[in-house]
Structure 1
C-alpha cells in the first residue's frame, strides 16, 4: 500500500473520529441538559413544602418565615391547612393595626412584599384593618429612596393585581408606573446588568430588574434594556449553570435568574443558558437536600430559611410557566384562600344586591393570539372567570368586532347576574343563545333597544354604545356615574372629534374617561367606530376592577 494512500486512510479515519466525538459530546450535552426531569422538580417542590410547613408553622410579617413562604405556597396550588393562611392574615392585621398602617419609614419594599403576599392569597391590600397598603407606593421619592429595589418591587406589587396607584396627598412627587420604569432603566450599567451599587452587574439584581420590566416589553427602550441584560446574564453564568454574587456562588442568585427566564418565557435549555450541558435548574437542585430544604451555598453556610423559601417560589414559577400557566407574579388567576370569616366584603357599598363576584373557574386560561397584546391582562382575567370566551378554544381574535348581543352577554356574566327573559324586542326569540343575556341586561337597565321594538343583536357595537352600557353597569355596581354638563364638556373637549359624539352618549363617555375605563391618552374618541373584542374586554375589566369585583 502506498504511503499516500495510507495517509489518506489515516486522515479519513481521523475525520470520522472527530465527527463521532463531536456527536458524542453533543448527545452527552443534550442528555446532561435534560438530566433534571419534571418529576425531579415536582418531588423537590412537594418535599420542600412539607419541610417549610414543619419549620414555618406560624408565618409572620417578615422577609423570612413570612411573605415569601406564603407566596410560594399559595402559588404552588398544593393543599395547605386552612388555618395557615387565616392565621397569617390575622397576624398581618395585628401588625398593620399596631403600627397604624406604617410598616416602615424608609424601606418601602416592606409594603410591596406584603402586597404581593396578600394578592397571592386573594386578600385586598387596599383594605387591611382599614388601611390602604397601596398608598405608600404613590410616594415616588420615598419608594426609590432605598435604591433600585424600591421601584423593582413597587412595579411587581402594583402589577400583580393591576392596581391603580393611589393619589398620596403627603407625597412631594406623586408616582406613576412610567416613573418607576424610567428609574430602573436609568440604573442599567454599561455592562448591560444592574446592581445595588458599583459598576459591575450583579445577577440577583439583574434578574429582579428583568422581572419588573418584563410586562413592558412593548416599549422599545424596555425591550432593548432587557436584551442587553439577558446577554449579561448569559455571560455571567458559570460553567456548571449557576451564578455567584460578590464572588460567592449561591442559590439565591441562581433563583433570581431562573425567575427572570420564566417571566420572559425563555426555555431553561436555551443555548445562552446551557453551559457544558448544565442548566440553571440543574445547578439549583445541587443546593437541595431531601427533608432539609435548600442551602444558601454549597458548603451549607448562610441562612437556609431564605434560600429555601426563594427556591420554592422559583421552582413553583418554573412549574407554572412550563405548564403554560401565568408566572408567579402575574396573579390574575388568584382565588381567595381565606375562610369566609377572614374575607372582606367585596364590591362597593351601594352595589345592587344581585351583582356578584365571578370566581376563577379556569386558572391560567389564555389564547395563542394575545401573547403580546396590550389587553392581554384584561382578556385573561375575564376568561379565567368564564366572563368572556374565544372564538374557539385557543383563539381570541382580539381585533375582531363585537356585536351588541355579545357585549350584553359579557356584561351580564361580568356582574354575575342570572338570565332573565324579556319580550321587549321583536328581534329576540326565546331560542336565541343571547336571549337570556339581552333580557337580563335590559331588565337591569344596562341596555336599551335601537328602537322601541328592536334590539339589533347582530349589529356591531360602537364605542359610544359600549360606553353607555358600561356606565349603566357601573351604576348598578355602586359607582357614582353622575357628571354635570360642565364636567362632561370639560372632559370630552380634550378630544379632537368631541363634537361627533351623540348627545345621548356624552355623559357616559365622560364617566368612562374620568374613571380611566377609557384612556385619556388617545387623540380622538372615535365614537362611531366598531368596538374591538380586546377593547371591550379591557373596558369591562377596568370597570369591574374599579367596582372592586375582581
Structure 2
C-alpha cells in the first residue's frame, strides 16, 4: 500500500504555533507555556506508544494526534502502524468487530490521518462496513457519529454493502443523530431511543461528538438548528472553572471533546458562551496536565493514556484552528496528488462520452418525498433527485419549494448530481476551509462549473439568480458530454422571444440560450427574469431536465 504524501513539507509544529490567549485559572496553569505542553505531550506519546496497534488506547488516537500535529515524526512510525493494521485485518478476515462498528470508523480515521488508503487494506475495503445502517447504529449514537466523521475525513463515497439489510446513506446517519436529541438540546449515548431507560440527561462528551459529526452539514437548516441548541446546552453544562463533568465527575476528556467540536465548527475558544468566570476551555484542560507524563483523567489523578491522547488531539485541533489549517477531521490535506483528468473523448474509462469523473447517481432512498410538495408542478423532479441524495429538504419532511437558494447550496447540488469526487481546490478568499461548503465550491471550481463574483471572491452565501444558475448548469452539462456551444444567431433567435431578454447579462446569454434550447428551462415561460432569485423547485426542475437529457437518470 502506497502512503499518500502531504501537500506541504512537514514543518516543526513549534514554528507554526501561535500563543493561545487564556485567562489563568490557577497559578500553575498560568505559568504553563502551551507550546511547551504540546511538545512535551507529543514526545511523551511517542515514547509511550512506540508501536501503535489497532485499539482505542495506544493506537489510532495517538496516530491521529501526531499525524495532524504535523510534528516531524519518522515515516517508520506510521509504516509500522500500517503493518500492524494490515496484520490485524488479515487475521480477522476483514471483520474488525461483529457489533461495534466504531472499530471500523476509528481505524479509517487512523489510516487516513497517517496517509494510507482504508479502502484497500490487505485486500479489504474497511469503509464497506459503514454501508450497513442497522449494524452501524446498533451501539448507540456513537455509531452514526463516527461513521460520518470517518467517511467525511477524506470525502469517501458512501460504500455499498451488499450484505446490509438497510443500505446506509449520509442523510440517514444525520437524521439518526438528529432524532436522538434530548429536550435540553444535547445528546447522550442512548437518549432518544427505547434503550434509553434513564439515559435522558445530556452528556458533554456525546454532545460534543455529535457536533463534530454534524459540523459539515450546516447547509441543512434542521442541522443548523440542532447545532445551535446543542451549543447552548454545552454552554449551560460548563462549570465556573471552564470545564465539564461526565457521570458526575469532572474530567479532561469532556473538555477535550468540546474543544475538538468547536474546532470542527470554526468557533473560537474565546467565544463568550464558553468562557466562565474568566476561564476558557483551554484554561481548564491545562489543569489536568502533568509534565513529562501527559494528562490525567481527573484533577487529582495520575497520568492516564486515554486522557493524554484525547487532550493532545484537542490541543492539535485548537492549534490548527488558530493557524488557519483544516480542522482535525478534515484530512483532505494529507493528499497532494492533483489528478488531471483527460477529456472524456480521449478515454474509455467512466461513462461513454462523459468526463471520467461523472457518475450515474443511483436511487438510495426509494419513494422519498416531502409533505409539502403534494401536487406541486415539480413534484416528480424533486422526488427523483431526493431519491438519489442529490437534493435535500429544509427538514426531513419539508422541502419548501418556493424559497431561494445560496450560491454555495447550488454548487453542492450540481456536484452531487454529477457524482463528482470532492476537491478542496478553491482560490476564493471568502470560502473558509472550515466552512461546510469549502469542498463543494472547491470541487465545482476545479471542474470549471463555477466562477467567482470577482477574481478572488465567490459570495457563497449570496442568493443565486436565474441567470447564474443557468450558467452553472450549462458548464456542468459540458462535463456530461452535451454540446453546449450556441452561435450568436441562435442566442438572438432563442432569447428574442422573451420580452425581458435585454435585462440579462451579456455573459449569461449563451448559457440561457443553451438551457432553453435543451428544454432545461421552459420556452413556455413568458419571460426570463434573469436577475430574479431562482426558487428551489426551479432548481430541481433544471437539474432534473439536464440529467435526463444527458442520460444520467
TM-score normalised by the shorter chain: which range applies?
Answer: 0.5 to 0.7
Choose the corresponding residue for 2:458, options 392, 396, 409.
Answer: 396
Q: Secondary structure at the match of 2:227?
A: helix
1:341-378 deviations in Å (ceiling 9; x for gaps): xxxxx99x9769xx99xxx9999976324679764213
Q: What is the SS of the residue equivalent to 1:163?
A: coil
Measure, in 2, the Cα distance between the counterparts of 1:54 and 1:265: 32
Residue 378, structure 1, aligned to residue 395, structure 2: no
Contact 1:240 1:283 in 2 (8 A): yes
* Residue 236 of structure 2: aligned partner: 235
Partner residue, 1:58 = 51
- 2:310 corresponds in structure 1 to 310
Instruction: Give a deviation string over 1:13-50, Cα, whole Å, max 9, x none.
Output: xxxxxxxxxxxxxxxx9854899899933322122111
Structure 2 Cα separation of the partners of residues 465 and 373 of structure 1: 33
Shift of 1:143: 0.3
Cα offset, 1:278, TM superposition = 0.5
Q: Map 1:115-514 onto structure 2 (within 5 A).
A: 115-197=108-190, 198-301=199-302, 304-335=304-335, 367-369=429-431, 375-380=437-442, 395-397=457-459, 462=511, 500=519
CA separation of 1:129/1:31 partners in 2, compared to 1, >3 Å: closer, same or farther? closer
Shift of 1:332: 2.2
Q: Which moved more, 1:81-90 or 1:160-169?
A: 160-169
Report the Cα distance in structure 1 between the residues aligned to 2:57 and 2:278, rounded to whole angstroms.
Answer: 33
The answer as to whether partners of 2:424 and 2:438 remain within 8 angstroms in 1 is no
CA 1:384–1:58 in structure 2 vs 1: closer, same or farther (change >3 Å)?
Answer: farther
Q: Are 2:140 and 2:189, in contact at CA under 8 Å, matched by a contact in 1? A: yes
Q: Is the CA contact (8 Å cut-off) linking 1:464 and 1:527 kept in structure 2? A: no
| Separation in structure 1 between the aligned mates of residue 517 and residue 130 of structure 2, nearest angstrom | 35
For 1:292 and 1:238, how far apart are their aligned partners in 2? 26
- Distance in 2 separating the partners of 1:185 and 1:84: 38
Question: What TM-score do you get using the length of structure 1 for normalisation?
Answer: 0.63
Cα pair distance change 1:59/1:393, threshold 3 Å: farther
Give the distance between the partners of 1:521 and 1:130, measured in 2 at CA: 45
Q: Aligned partners of 2:26, 2:323: CA distance in 1, in Å?
A: 17
Q: State the Cα RMSD in Å.
A: 4.9
Taking the aligned partners of 1:391 and 1:361, their CA distance within structure 2 comes to: 20
How far apart are 1:402 and its partner, in Å? 11
Equivalent residues of 1:370, 1:396 under 8 A apart: no
Q: Secondary structure at the residue paired with 1:327?
A: coil
* 335 and 381 in structure 1: CA distance in 2 versus 1, 3 angstrom threshold: farther
Contact 2:160 2:167 in 1 (8 A): yes
Deviations 1:79-106 (A, max 9, x none): 1101111111111111111111100000
Q: Distance in 1 between matches of 2:325 and 2:108?
A: 21
Task: Flag the structure with larger Rg.
Answer: 1
Q: Which residue of 1 aligns with 2:495?
A: none
Kept after mapping to 1: 8 A contact 2:22/2:280: no
**CA offsets per residue over residues 243-279 of structure 1, 9 Å max, x none?**
1111111110110111112222222222221111110
Matched residues, number: 414
Give me the whole-angstrom Cα distance separating, in 2, the residues matched to 1:313 and 1:461. 51
CA distance 1:362–1:131, change in 2 (3 Å) = closer
Match of 1:500, SS state, is coil
Query: Structure 1 residues 246, 526: CA separation in 2 closer, same or farther (over 3 Å shift)?
Result: closer
Structure 1 44/166 Cα, relative in aligned 2: closer, same or farther at 3 Å?
A: same
Contact 1:361–1:386 at 8 Å: present in 2 too? no
TM-score computed with the length of structure 2 as normaliser: 0.63
CA deviation vs aligned residue, 1:151-194 (integer Å, no higher than 9, x gap): 11011111112222122111111111111111111211122211
Q: Is the 8 A contact 2:295 2:308 kept in 1?
A: yes
Contact 1:240–1:278, Cα closer than 8 Å, also in 2: yes
Describe the shift of the 1:386–1:60 C-alpha distance in structure 2 as closer, same or farther (beyond 3 A). Answer: farther
Task: Determine if contact 1:363/1:384 at 8 Å carries over to the other structure.
Answer: yes
Does the CA contact (< 8 Å) of 2:424 and 2:439 recur in 1?
no
| Deviation string, structure 1 residues 111-133 (Cα, Å, up to 9, x no partner) | 00111112212222111121111
Please give the alpha-carbon distance, in whole angstroms, between the structure 2 residues aligned to 1:40 and 1:212: 31
Distance 1:37 1:362, change over 3 A: farther
- In the alignment, the residues of structure 2 paired with residue 117 and residue 370 of structure 1 have an alpha-carbon distance, to the nearest angstrom, of 25
Partner of 1:524: 541
Q: Counterpart of 2:491?
A: none
Report what 1:435 is aligned to.
Answer: none
8 Å Cα contact 2:174-2:214 kept in structure 1: yes
Q: Any gaps of 5 or more consecutive residues in structure 2?
A: 1-20, 191-198, 351-355, 358-421, 488-506, 522-536, 547-553
Rounded to whole Å, the distance in 2 between the matches of 1:463 and 1:291 is 66
Asked if 2 retains the 8 angstrom alpha-carbon contact of 1:33 and 1:269, the reply is no
Offset at 1:290? Answer: 2.3
Of the structure 1 ranges 203-212 and 181-190, higher mean CA displacement relative to structure 2 is found in: 181-190
How far, CA to CA, are the matches of 1:310 and 1:363 in structure 2? 30
Q: Residues 186 and 207 of structure 2 are in contact (CA less than 8 Å); yes or no, is this contact kept in structure 1?
A: yes
Any conservation in 2 of the 1:192–1:231 contact (CA below 8 Å)? Answer: yes
Q: Which runs of 5+ in 1 are unaligned?
A: 1-28, 338-345, 413-444, 452-457, 467-496, 503-519, 530-550
SS in 2 for 1:523: helix
Q: Does 303-312 or 38-47 show the bigger shift?
A: 38-47
